[in-house]
């Protein structure tokens, strides 16, 4: 799927999350990782601006575990006022096909907290973004494992969802179980009475593709608000990854995250892979 991943790190990720991500990276085909830290001049962040050597030593220690696991790893330290923009530029320079960033849980009540860098990155990135979950202190961490085995795929059958569907099918080759969900908005039947039946057929086709790839699949058609229903299903299934499409790929829409995807990243409390659709031709 994604041979090269750019992994954005800051000092909140200083201890321990990278081994937790290793299984996910391997399952997604990652063979090369670029560990990147962007320093903002004048911004207080511990060993920051003017301490590049200390930063390089820190990132090198972070790289050791990934190298021991067989990944090719490089380290990149940058100075920029626009952290998200420079991460996107770094990904392009290194030929990355995936950007990985952590988001830290603040409490059980507040759920997943997206900092300004994560939000901006999700808006700006033309690449898939894997938003990994950093457990709050004392709540434990995910094991390295063999990658995601309980996946929830959210789809609205749009062009923008096709790349997300393809990602789920590719991950199914590891034998993963994929819950394919289309949430019917409350007034959907009023717009088109036959939509539930049509959606059921479309879900069945996606499930067939997942099974053909070697995975297991089940389909779901709850009514409600899409982000909330997808998050609820993921919690009920104890899913270790949610996959959704990122809507908006033209110039006007490029600064917009689909409302479902954005809200889902806030409330999911588990890793989310947001996959943009390819640019339409013409």
Express each pLDDT in 211-238 by its tens digit: 999 999 999 999 998 899 999 999 999 9
Question: Among residues 98, 86, 6, which one has the least CA distance to residue 40?
Answer: 86
Residue 259: pLDDT band (50, 70, 90) is low
Express each pLDDT in 3-48 by its tens digit: 999 998 875 544 445 666 788 888 899 999 999 988 776 544 444 4
- As a residue count, the chain comes to 282
pLDDT at 109: 34
pLDDT at 104: 57
Between CA 59 and CA 170 the distance in angstroms is 31
pLDDT at 42: 57
Residue 182: pLDDT band (50, 70, 90) is very high
pLDDT at 129: 93
pLDDT at 190: 67
Between CA 244 and CA 122 the distance in angstroms is 12
**Residue 278 Cα distances to 70, 127, 161, 247, angstroms:** 30, 9, 10, 11
Express each pLDDT in 184-212 by its tens digit: 887 766 677 788 899 999 999 999 999 99
> Structurally, what CATH architecture does the domain formed by 4-134 represent?
3-Layer(aba) Sandwich (3.40)
Whether the domain at 4-134 and the domain at 150-276 fall into the same CATH topology? yes
Name the residue ranges covered by the structural domains of the chain: 4-134, 150-276
**150-276 classified as CATH 3.40.1160.10:** no
Give the mean pLDDT of 174-178. Answer: 94
Express each pLDDT in 149-162 by its tens digit: 999 999 989 888 99
Between CA 168 and CA 206 the distance in angstroms is 9
pTM for the model stands at 0.85
């Amino acid at each position: 799927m994604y041979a090269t991943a750019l992994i954005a790190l800051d000092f909140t990720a200083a201890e321990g999350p990278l081994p937790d991500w290793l299984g996910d990276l391997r399952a997604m085909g990652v063979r090369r990782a670029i560990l990147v830290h962007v320093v903002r001049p004048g911004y207080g962040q511990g060993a920051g601006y003017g301490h590049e050597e200390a930063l390089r030593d820190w990132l090198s220690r972070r790289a050791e575990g990934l190298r021991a696991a067989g990944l090719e790893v490089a380290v990149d330290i940058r100075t920029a006022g626009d952290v998200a923009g420079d991460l996107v530029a770094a990904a392009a320079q290194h030929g990355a096909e995936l950007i990985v960033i952590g988001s830290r849980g603040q409490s059980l009540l507040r759920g997943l907290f997206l900092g300004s860098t994560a939000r901006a990155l999700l808006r700006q990135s033309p690449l898939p973004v894997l938003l990994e979950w950093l457990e709050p202190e004392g709540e434990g961490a995910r094991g390295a494992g063999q990658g995601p085995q309980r996946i929830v795929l959210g789809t609205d059958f749009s062009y923008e969802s096709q790349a997300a569907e393809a990602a789920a099918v590719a991950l199914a080759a590891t034998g993963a179980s994929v819950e394919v969900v289309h949430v019917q908005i409350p007034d959907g039947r009023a717009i088109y009475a036959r939509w539930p039946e049509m959606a059921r057929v479309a879900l069945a086709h996606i499930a067939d593709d997942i099974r053909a790839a070697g995975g297991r699949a089940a389909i779901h058609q709850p009514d409600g608000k899409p982000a909330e229903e997808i998050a609820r299903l993921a919690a009920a299934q104890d899913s270790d990854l949610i996959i959704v499409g990122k809507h908006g790929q033209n110039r006007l829409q490029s600064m917009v995250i689909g409302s479902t995807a954005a809200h889902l990243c806030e409330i999911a409390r588990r890793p989310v892979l947001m996959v943009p659709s390819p640019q339409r031709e013409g």
